[in-house]
Amino acid sequence: MVEGKTKKEKMPRQPMPEQEAEIRRRNFKEVPFGYTRELALKEASRCLQCKNPSCVEGCPVSVDIPGFIKLITEGEFTKSIRKIWERNALPAVCGRVCPQEAQCEGNCILGKKDDPVAIGNLERFVADLEREKGTGELPPKAAPTGKKVAVVGSGPSGLTVAGDLILKGHDVTVFEAFHKPGGVLVYGIPEFRLPKEIVYSEVNFLERLGVKVECNNVVGRTVSLDELFEQGYDAIYLGVGAGLPRFLNIPGENLIGIYSANEYLTRSNLMKAYLFPEYDTPIVKGKNVAIFGAGNVAMDSARTAMRLGADKVRIIYRRSKEEMPARAAEIHHAEQEGIEFYLLTAPTRFLGDDKGRVTGMECIKMELGEPDDSGRRRPVPLEGSKFQLECDLAVIAVGAGANPLLTRSTDGLKLNKSGYIITDPATGKTSKKGVWAGGDIVTGSATVILAMGAGRMASDSIHNYLTLGW
Amino acid sequence: MFEILKRQEMADGTVVMNEISAPLIAKKAQPGQFVILKANETGERIPLTMADTDPKKGTITIIYQVVGKSTNLFKSLQVGDHFQDVIGPLGKPTHLEKLGTVICVGGGTGVAVLHPITRGLKQIGNRVIAIIGARTKDLLILEDKMKVASNELHVCTDDGSYGHHGFVTDKLKEVLEKEDVKLVVGIGPVPMMKFVCKVTEEYGVKTLVSLNAIMVDGTGMCGCCRVSIGGKTQFACVDGPEFDGHQVDFNELMQRLDAYKTEEAIAMDKYSCECKAAG
């Protein structure tokens, strides 16, 4: 027993092979290649199989992590993916984009002295293997209940609800405003971090289970919630995302070449502007690029700009490196790819030419003061520190607000003062009977997995409602 | 998939009308609202204000000017062909109100957008004077429909080949001199709307314009269509497309509409070559 344990601790965490930074910074192919079977077996063997696994506590959808890893060590890859599917309908996505260091891996006991088990990499491995070489056999489904559920929004929380409820025998239709399903997984997260083929394959998996997906339907405009009820839907889940870009509100912000991150990424990812002119949607290809903000979306924007041929990409952030909200892996990848960080710097106005195109900006240096409401030290402008920087493309990635399109056109839906939907924290129920909500439209901008966690909670509650009542 | 049921070329083939099957949109759409269309898998999302709808037939009508790659691609679609994606109805409907005498001014394909608004304003009990114009007679569209939709119609051509010789703004001034006008609706090319607003500002008459900003999602998610209204940024897709013309920064709008001029030329060149190669 003691011997076994020592042996396990000696095995180092297996890094995932990836494209060299010098090469990948100019292409849109996925950065990591994924584990081979050998690497996965080695990494899985590091798991201590804790009796009371704290990794599971760190997972917003409570995947049985030691369970699926044990099945990997036994070479039971199909059983392993099925174990994950019990709790998570989108493992190929989560294995790639979850902030594991703050969740499962952050709780891993091995991490106290050594590197934690690479849970995300292992999840990705079994999900990819199933997609590429698996049996395609679907998980078991309950008998039809005759109840109809409408899921509004096909992002991570909506897909989670759809996946849960279809397995429980309900009739599920997902409504998507865009022409393709996937929500932020498709319009927001770039190809090099999450290949769209993977998202479509996860959506296809749900369709094979019986979920109907209706694109080009802007619920709130094309059809209202009350009309959905009239059409015979018994319950509605709103997972529409935050969906309102935040700007800096400084002079010159409407110059050409200044994008919200939503627009920049939607053009590149959903509309495939990075393949222009093969695809018709254009995008400004800056040589000298400024990105404002330091979250995952800012990193995605910066790395996209680099791949579109920029000479220089700067992340401009008003706080210091410690406060940057992006995943550690994203910051690391961005640094490797030559993205520069201008910390403790805030823009004060944009400068443009006579054609209305951005040519630069004026910035001011900041210092950190007392902690603010978020617990992070508040940046304070340093008098007399203004300076100018050139740029021909600027992307504003400072977060999002609540898009009012659906919420304001729906009677009986209580919103907080910022416009987010108020829900019961234990069930996801809104103030409107038969309507649940979750994800960014409730919490404000968060992560894929938190949205999925909210979806899981709501789907449990919806199932109770459909079988027991409100 | 959204099938084209009717197709008609107008203005020497520079303008095309499509009646498209889109029952859900047709049921909901109101005057002033727009749709976003995407022809095929690789296509762009193009916003167009609807020229008409028929909820019973489940159809919407769009009338567009053929200018670049995307509208040329639209033009290549025949009856029986499909738009891959049509999304809507988007934007705020026109606020129709009985005010008295109102003027509807339209230029180019703007007349197509103006037509349902003109009809709506008349139906609600206004006396509607319509002024429509084009560069030359052959480019004029919807004269007959506008005649029916309004109480009084004036036609202008820049070159004098038909109707009043001159700009719509000349005629507008003339009418404003004579009549007690409560509202002007001006829809057309941005320079036309700008000058309509200049004229009406002198007479102190409230003026609505419909802004055709570049868009991506059309639901307020991206901010591509931001316009300056009274010095404040608004989104044409959800706050508009109609705004108080006296508050609009038309120069900024004109510049932003030219944002992708270079890319548009590249796309158009490539498309022309492909069309030639295909014979």
Q: What is the pLDDT of residue A361?
A: 97
Alpha-carbon distance of A409 to B238, in angstroms, equals 12
Q: What is the pLDDT of residue A1?
A: 43
The label of the residue with tokens 């000017």 reads: B65
Q: What is the pLDDT of residue A133?
A: 87
- Report CB contact under 8 Å: B233, A253: yes
Chain B residue numbers touching A308 (CB-CB < 8 A) = none
B266 close contact with A: CB closer than 8 A: yes
Chain B residue numbers touching A404 (CB-CB < 8 A) = 220, 238
Inter-residue contact B102 to B186 (CB < 8 Å): no
Overall size of chain B counted in residues: 279
The alpha-carbon gap from B173 to the nearest alpha carbon of chain A, in Å, equals 31
- B174-183 pLDDT, tens digit each: 999 999 999 9
**Strands B34-38 vs A400-402: parallel, antiparallel or unpaired:** unpaired
Inter-residue contact B194 to B211 (CB < 8 Å): no
Alpha-carbon distance of A161 to A158, in angstroms, equals 5
Q: Is A249 exposed, middle or buried (0-12, 13-18, 19+ CB in 10 A)?
A: exposed
A216 close contact with B: CB closer than 8 A: yes
Q: Domains of chain B by range and CATH?
A: 2-90 (2.40.30.10), 101-257 (3.40.50.80)
The alpha-carbon gap from B105 to the nearest alpha carbon of chain A, in Å, equals 28
ipTM of the complex: 0.95
- Report CB contact under 8 Å: B222, A277: no
Residue in A with minimal Cα distance to B220? A244
Inter-residue contact A368 to A378 (CB < 8 Å): yes
Alpha-carbon distance of A133 to A129, in angstroms, equals 6
Alpha-carbon distance of B118 to B105, in angstroms, equals 9
Inter-residue contact A177 to A225 (CB < 8 Å): no
- Report CB contact under 8 Å: B85, A355: no
- B13-40 pLDDT, tens digit each: 999 999 999 999 999 999 999 999 999 9
**How would residue B275 be classed by pLDDT, with cut points 50, 70 and 90?**
confident
- Report CB contact under 8 Å: A263, B252: no
Q: Residue A422 gets which letter from DSSP?
A: P
- B198-212 pLDDT, tens digit each: 999 999 999 999 999
Alpha-carbon distance of B14 to B109, in angstroms, equals 10
Interval B183-202 mean pLDDT: 97
Alpha-carbon distance of A442 to A391, in angstroms, equals 35
- Report CB contact under 8 Å: B42, A278: yes
Closest CA to B115 of B187, B46, B192: B187
Inter-residue contact A305 to A313 (CB < 8 Å): yes
Alpha-carbon distance of A277 to A273, in angstroms, equals 8
Asked if the model's pLDDT at residue B228 lies above 80, the reply is yes
221-260 of A, contacting B, C-beta below 8 A: 221-223, 243-245, 247, 253-254, 256-257, 259-260
The alpha-carbon gap from A197 to the nearest alpha carbon of chain B, in Å, equals 15
To the nearest 10°, the Cα dihedral for A318, A319, A323, A328? 60
The label of the residue with tokens 């222009």 reads: A276
- B46-89 pLDDT, tens digit each: 999 999 999 999 999 999 999 999 999 999 999 999 999 999 99
Range A211-229 burial, b when 16+ CB lie within 10 A, else e:
bebbebbbbbbbbbbeebb
User: The tokens of B70 are what?
Assistant: 């995307």
**How would residue B279 be classed by pLDDT, with cut points 50, 70 and 90?**
low
Instruction: Please report the DSSP string for A353-420 in residue order.
Output: -TTSBEEEEEEEEEEEEEE-TTSSEEEEEPTT--EEEE-SEEEE-S-EEE-HHHHTTSTT--B-TTSP
Alpha-carbon distance of A358 to A350, in angstroms, equals 7
Alpha-carbon distance of A145 to A135, in angstroms, equals 28
Q: Please state the pTM of the whole predicted model.
A: 0.94
pLDDT by 10-residue block (mean), chain A, 470 residues: 51 94 95 96 96 94 96 95 90 91 94 94 96 84 95 96 95 98 96 95 94 97 96 97 94 97 97 96 97 96 97 96 90 96 96 97 94 86 95 96 91 94 96 96 90 93 89
Q: Which of B73, B222, B270 sits opposite A266 (nearest CB)?
A: B222
Alpha-carbon distance of B242 to B236, in angstroms, equals 8
Element (H, E) at B122: helix B110-123
Closest CA to B62 of B46, B41, B40: B46
Inter-residue contact B255 to A356 (CB < 8 Å): yes
Compute the mean pLDDT over every residue in chain B, rounded to the nearest whole number: 95
User: The tokens of B68 are what?
Assistant: 């670049």
Closest CA to B30 of B102, B124, B145, B141: B124
- Report CB contact under 8 Å: B44, A223: no
Which residues does A345 contact at the CB level (< 8 Å), separation at least 6? Answer: A316, A317, A318, A363, A364, A365, A366
Tell me the CA distances in angstroms from B81 to A417, B18, B75, one per residue in order: 47, 11, 11
Which residues does A316 contact at the CB level (< 8 Å), separation at least 6? Answer: A290, A291, A292, A342, A345, A346, A347, A363
10-49 of B, contacting A, C-beta below 8 A: 24-25, 28, 38, 42-45
B149 close contact with A: CB closer than 8 A: no
What amino acid occupies position A324? M
Which residues, listed in sequence order, are joined to residue A345 by a DSSP beta bridge? A365
- Report CB contact under 8 Å: A216, B85: yes
Overall size of chain A counted in residues: 470
